[in-house]
Amino acid sequence: MSVLVRIPTPLRRFVDGNSILEARGKTVSQVLGDLSQRYPGVGERLYDGGSLRPFINIYLNNEDIRFLQGEGTAVKDGDVISIVPAIAGG
Amino acid sequence: MGYSTGLVCRVCGKRYEESPLYVCEDCFGPLEVTYDYEFLGRKFSPETISRGPKSMWRYWPLLPLQGEPKVGLEVGFTPLFHAKRLGDALGLKRLFIKNDAVNHPTLSFKDRVVAVSVSKAVEFGFDTVACASTGNLANSLAAQATAAGLRSLIFIPADIEEAKIVGTSVYGTEVVAVRGNYDQVNRLCSEVASQYQWAFVNINLRPYYSEGSKTFAFEIAEQLGWQCPDHIVIPVAGCSLLTKIWKGLTELEELGWIPKNKARLYAAQPSGCSPVATAVKNGWDTIKPVKPNTIAKSLAIGNPADGLFGLRAIRQSGGYAEDVSDREIIEGILLLAKTEGVFTETAGGVVVAATRKLVREGRIGKDDLTVLAITGNGLKTQDALVGATRRPSTIDPTLEDFVALEEQKERRQRENVSLG
């Protein structure tokens, strides 16, 4: 599956300044893994010891993946994944 | 002239220069303002602070501005008073209300955070300010941005109270109503903020914005004669106010301006949106986001940004959390109004109703010094009270009509007595 991933400002310096990228995988986790493999520096910012850092929210299309099946949520062609810093608002 | 020294990541400790940055570039942790407490402590004391202006700016050394405030000079120093009649109703002898329902200029505690963040936006050279808001922040940012001569753009969930929409648009701001809940608005704004060079007060200026909430705690301590209460019951949405009340009291203790930060902090949430209270009650170390469904729209944040830090502050302080139903919220609003003559919004109703539960559970003792954080004004959420207050008796302008009305009332009272 090929999906689009929206890249937040803090990660753009690792992906040649891009704000959106294409990545492949069957699940959210695989897509993020694909990105991490292709762009050194991304993986260690997203993950801490194998688990997603607590202040990152991941959305599949318009839904927070915690309301779906988390990182195991399946993706399909044309889906959009957004990586969004969690600290905002209130 | 300021005493802030930069930003530090609350998770990994990485330091940054002061700038419109809010997320650690290494770990996505939130950034927080740091101060030179030692230097500050040598130059200021409770005595010097007490001689300052009757506003939140008397605490300026503990706020993150490098120059004079640019806006909101009259914000804060709202009343703290002994709520004897509400105390009688709840079984508390030393109950105090901190009343930000009469804050200047827009009747909520958000005036504090906006005064700091708009001043900071001017210091950074922004010409446009923006925010995601459930209403109170929208009102305050619209008003204070206008007063500062800045352009403002405000994103709200489309279903918030009409009074809060009018109370934003009236200042000439650009209001964008988003079809979605606050968490969706907030996420949209995070993405907008990364594309446009605007000062989103609760996103890229959040480290500065949130510091304004500390003044709520500073005022409580000073108004109690530079001491710390035993308990503070706080309405929780994003959990920033609670977190910053804890930081404020900790700073006062560190400076030696209060003997000890002994306050137990309690999160008050509506049952229809209680991710923090649920985590506290279940002993969880994480916050599980929820989809809000409550009349307390100002607290309808299902994914609280400061939830984890709030959770830690509540535990560290020895506090707890309670959640209350929509019916209990209305009862809370009416109880405060009918005992103290203070008309608060739904969030205040949540606080009063949660306090009643905490007293019944034995967590708050009758002789303990307890402060309720009343953070918003009831005039903005009148929709919630439809059917809950008595309609006026309508008569013709004749004495006969009025006498008939009085006699009818007396008859009813006699009947009630004989029935009773």
User: Is the per-residue pLDDT at B418 higher than 80?
Assistant: no
Spatial strand order of the sheet with B80-82 comes to: B80-82, B94-99, B369-374, B231-235, B264-270, B320-324
Task: Let me know: does B322 contact B280? Beta carbons within 8 Å.
Answer: no
Check residue A32 and give its pLDDT. 97
Of A55, A59, A88, the CB nearest to B29: A55
Check residue A66 and give its pLDDT. 96
Under an 8 A CB cutoff, do A87 and B23 touch?
yes
Answer with the residue of higher pLDDT: B378 or B417.
B378
- List all residues 6 or more positions away from B117 whose beta carbon is below 8 Å from its beta carbon: B129, B199, B201, B202, B205, B208, B209, B212
Of B30, B189, B203, the CB nearest to A55: B30
Q: Please report which residue ranges of chain A form alpha helices under DSSP H.
A: 9-12, 28-38, 42-46
Residues of B with a Cβ under 8 Å from any A Cβ are 11, 22-30, 132, 182-184, 186-187, 189-191, 193-195, 200, 202-203, 206, 237-240, 286, 288-289, 291, 301, 303-306, 308
Share of chain B above pLDDT 90, in %: 98
**DSSP letters along B124-147, please?**
HT-SEEEEE-SSHHHHHHHHHHHH
Q: Using CA atoms, how far apart are residues B24 and B34, in angstroms rounded to an integer?
A: 15
Check residue B124 and give its pLDDT. 98
**Residue B372: its H or E element:** strand B369-374
Closest residue in B to A88 (Cα) is B203
Q: Please report which residue ranges of B273-398 form alpha helices under DSSP H.
A: 275-282, 307-317, 326-340, 346-360
Which domains can be identified in chain B, with CATH numbers? 4-73+110-209 (3.40.50.1100), 80-106+213-385 (3.40.50.1100), 392-420 (no CATH)
Distance from CA of A90 to the nearest CA of B (A): 4
Check residue B417 and give its pLDDT. 78
- List all residues 6 or more positions away from B78 whose beta carbon is below 8 Å from its beta carbon: B98, B99, B100, B102, B103, B219
Under an 8 A CB cutoff, do B203 and A89 touch?
yes
A-B contacts at Cβ under 8 angstroms: 92
- Can you give the residue ranges of every domain in chain A? 2-85
Neighbours of A15 (CB within 10 A): 17
Q: Average the pLDDT over B246-273 and give the result.
A: 98
Under an 8 A CB cutoff, do A57 and B191 touch?
no
Mutation site for A-interface testing, chosen from B28, B113, B290, B291 by largest number of A Cβ within 10 Å: B28
Q: With the C-alpha atoms ordered B57, B62, B64, B65, is the resulting torsion angle positive or negative? A: positive
Neighbours of B403 (CB within 10 A): 11
Residues of A with a Cβ under 8 Å from any B Cβ are 6, 8-10, 13, 19, 45, 48, 53-57, 59, 62, 64, 66-67, 82, 84-90
Confidence (pTM): 0.96
DSSP-derived pairing of the beta strands B31-35 and B199-200: unpaired
Closest CA relative to residue B121, chosen from B133, B129, B113, B132: B129
Answer with the residue of higher pLDDT: A28 or B2.
A28
Q: What is the mean pLDDT of each run of 10 residues along chain A (90 residues)?
A: 94 96 97 97 94 95 95 97 92
Cβ neighbours of B30 in A, within 8 Å = 55, 87
Cβ neighbours of A85 in B, within 8 Å = 22-23, 28, 190
Under an 8 A CB cutoff, do B182 and A89 touch?
yes
Under an 8 A CB cutoff, do B206 and A54 touch?
no
Q: With the C-alpha atoms ordered A17, A18, A24, A29, is the resulting torsion angle positive or negative? A: positive
Q: Using CA atoms, how far apart are residues B175 and B166, in angstroms rounded to an integer?
A: 10
Report the first-to-last Cα separation within chain B, whole angstroms.
Answer: 69
Check residue A90 and give its pLDDT. 87
Task: Tell me the angle at which helices B240-255 and B214-223 cross, rounded to the nearest 10 degrees.
Answer: 50
Check residue B86 and give its pLDDT. 98
Of B25, B184, B203, the CB nearest to A88: B203
Q: Average the pLDDT over B386-414 and give the result.
A: 95
Task: Let me know: does A11 contact A17? Beta carbons within 8 Å.
Answer: no
Cβ neighbours of A59 in B, within 8 Å = 187
Of B11, B26, B238, the CB nearest to A89: B238
Q: Using CA atoms, how far apart are residues B363 and B355, in angstroms rounded to an integer?
A: 9
- List all residues 6 or more positions away from A26 whose beta carbon is below 8 Å from its beta carbon: A1, A74, A75
In tens, the pLDDT along B179-229 reads 999 999 999 999 999 899 999 999 999 999 999 999 999 999 999 999 999
Under an 8 A CB cutoff, do A54 and B23 touch?
no
Backbone angles phi, psi at B152, to 5 degrees: -130, 145
**DSSP letters along B95-122, please?**
EEEEEGGG-TTTSBTHHHHHHHHHHHHH
Q: Using CA atoms, how far apart are residues A29 and A7, in angstroms rounded to an integer?
A: 15
With cut-offs at 50, 70 and 90, classify the pLDDT of residue B367: very high
Check residue A1 and give its pLDDT. 86
User: Is the per-residue pLDDT at B420 higher than 70?
Assistant: no
Task: Let me know: does B243 contact B276? Beta carbons within 8 Å.
Answer: no
Share of chain B above pLDDT 70, in %: 99
With cut-offs at 50, 70 and 90, classify the pLDDT of residue B416: confident
Task: Let me know: does B352 contact B378? Beta carbons within 8 Å.
Answer: no
Closest residue in A to B287 (Cα) is A54
Reported as half-sphere exposure (CB side, CA atoms, 13 A), residue B332 has a value of 31
Under an 8 A CB cutoff, do B11 and A55 touch?
yes
B121-131 burial by CB neighbour count: b if 16+ within 10 A, else e? Answer: bbbeebebbbb
Q: Does domain A2-85 have CATH number 3.10.20.30?
A: yes
